[in-house]
Amino acid sequence: MTRRAFAALTAMFGMMVAACATVPAGSAAAGERHVTVTTAEGAADALLFTPAKGRAPGVILFSDLGGLRPAIADLGRKLAGDGYVVLVPNAFYRSVALDGTAASTLDYPTRSKQWRGAATDAAVIEDSKAYVAYLDGVPQVDKSAKLGVVGYDIGAAYAFIAARAVPGRIGAVAAIHPLAVATARPNSPHLFVNQSKAAYYVVMGKNAFEREPGDKTDLEKAFADAGLKGTVVVAAGNHGFGVSDNPAYDAASADQAWAAMLALLRSSLK
């Protein structure tokens, strides 16, 4: 065998080993592209981020009510760099097209009424099934591992719903400064955690906890009653602390929540 042939064979073998390996945390994100996920009601624009090499667990990342935009894309990119295949869908595709390149200028009350109004529980359940199926079709996803779901603000409620929609695949839910995960409504997401099989990490903003301190107790009770691993903590920062373009952004609280979220994913996505 010539030296050149041996080198080529060695390189090929290295690529095969990399393709079979699970990506370690801290790897650089290598790929990102716009994709379209076919759902029961249409098609959702999304961003897909993949690590530098090998296979990795998949994670769905749901945005806050600001929608898919550069600050949210940065979170997906960062999570891929930590060793995950990350799908960041436009959860509000029924109301608006968002590709992550710019923030919407629509006012908050309109977004809350129109975008959130169209993303009903039933709709999010069906969408979540589509997102899971899409991730399971991505070659870089390690399908022997469970999937994770991360949600910010109202995206945390969608993360809870996703774990209920596909309990056999979703092993971890991280809810960062959540909105509407524990309410007095009969469809409150916390009432249905017993339909999931996930481990949960919830970190509330300080002012949200001060406004509704009972939410923490309700969540802890729901996890305990369901026999699920669930951690609920209160951050030093206020609601919105985890997203860089939010006026309440707090880097220290965001970093602490990120570290805890990574610990949850590493321990649960097996």
Instruction: Read off the pLDDT of residues 78-114 as tens digits, 9 standing for 90 and up.
Output: 999 999 999 999 999 999 999 999 999 999 999 999 9
Model confidence band, residue 175 (pLDDT cutoffs 50, 70, 90): very high
Query: Token match 């999010």: residue?
Result: 124
In the prediction, which pLDDT does 29 show?
Answer: 54
pLDDT digits (tens, 9 = 90+) for 60-81: 999 999 999 999 999 999 999 9
In the prediction, which pLDDT does 9 show?
Answer: 34
Average pLDDT, the chain: 91
pLDDT digits (tens, 9 = 90+) for 116-174: 999 999 999 999 999 999 999 999 999 999 999 999 999 999 999 999 999 999 999 99
Radius of gyration of the chain from Cα atoms? 19
Q: Which residues contact 181 (CB under 8 A, 6 or more apart)?
A: 156, 157, 160, 175, 188, 189, 190, 202, 215, 219
22-32: burial string, b at 16+ Cβ within 10 Å, e else: ebeeebebeeb
In the prediction, which pLDDT does 30 show?
Answer: 66
Closest CA to 72 of 86, 57, 51, 83: 86
Residue 130 near residue 37, CB atoms below 8 Å: yes
Q: What are phi and psi of 35, to 5 degrees?
A: -135, 170
pTM: 0.89
